[in-house]
Amino acid sequence: METINNELRKKVIEEIPKLKRCFQCGTCTSSCPATLYSGHFSPREFILECLRGMQDKALGNDLWRCITCNSCNERCPQDVNPYEVIVKLKNIAVRENLITPEKKDEVTGAFNHLIETGSAYPLSELTSKKREELGLGPLEQKKIFQDR
């Protein structure tokens, strides 16, 4: 059963009053690369779930699929700023300890990898093979910060 959290709704609307302007046109989702490649991510649905106070869906694992490209903001006809909504939801999820320990470890690992190498995720074997197929040279992940 879905958890309805009116406090979540109030918090997000207080922090982003423009959220109420969203008329669910779907422009944010249609321009989202994360939607294209994951098939599960929808900025429009996160906004709708916030407005409905649907905590489980609004703060679920799909929230972390956002690649922070800002395409949704650039195209929103109502200037709702879907990216800001997603960032606020992530902050709420972490601040109120509403993410699973596994997701927290994954996000922390990606953040630490980003700090160390400038890339959010380690290069995969699949990436290397695809680059080779395309005639591109190998990529090296270098440490940005050397031990002091």
The one-letter amino acid at 12: V
Q: What integer pLDDT is reported at residue 25 of this predicted model?
A: 94
pLDDT given for residue 148 in this prediction = 46
Q: Are 34 and 72 in contact (CB under 8 A)?
A: no
Q: Dihedral sign for Cα 120, 124, 128, 133, please.
A: negative
145 contacts 116 by C-beta, under 8 angstroms: yes
Please report, in tens digits, the pLDDT of each residue of the chain (148 residues total): 667 888 888 888 888 888 889 999 999 999 998 888 877 789 999 889 888 888 888 888 888 888 888 999 999 999 998 998 888 888 888 888 888 889 889 888 888 888 887 776 677 788 888 889 999 888 776 666 655 4
CB 62 within 8 A of CB 40: yes
User: DSSP code of 101?
Assistant: H
Question: How far is 40 from 42, CA to CA, in rounded Å?
Answer: 7
Q: Which of 74, 98, 122 is the last residue of a domain?
A: 98
54 — phi, psi (to 5°)? -85, 85
> What is the residue whose two structure tokens read 């997603």?
86
Is the domain of 79 the same as that of 129? no
What integer pLDDT is reported at residue 1 of this predicted model? Answer: 62
Task: Name the one residue in this structure whose structure tokens are 């990898």.
Answer: 113
- Residue 111 domain boundaries: 100-148
Residues making up the chain, counted from first to last = 148
At 140 the pLDDT is: 74
Question: What pLDDT is recorded for position 29?
Answer: 93
Number of domain units in the chain: 2
Do 87 and 125 fall within a single domain? no
Full-model pTM: 0.72
Same domain for 21 and 93, yes or no, is yes
The reply to whether 115 falls in a domain is yes
The reply to whether 133 and 76 lie within a common domain is no
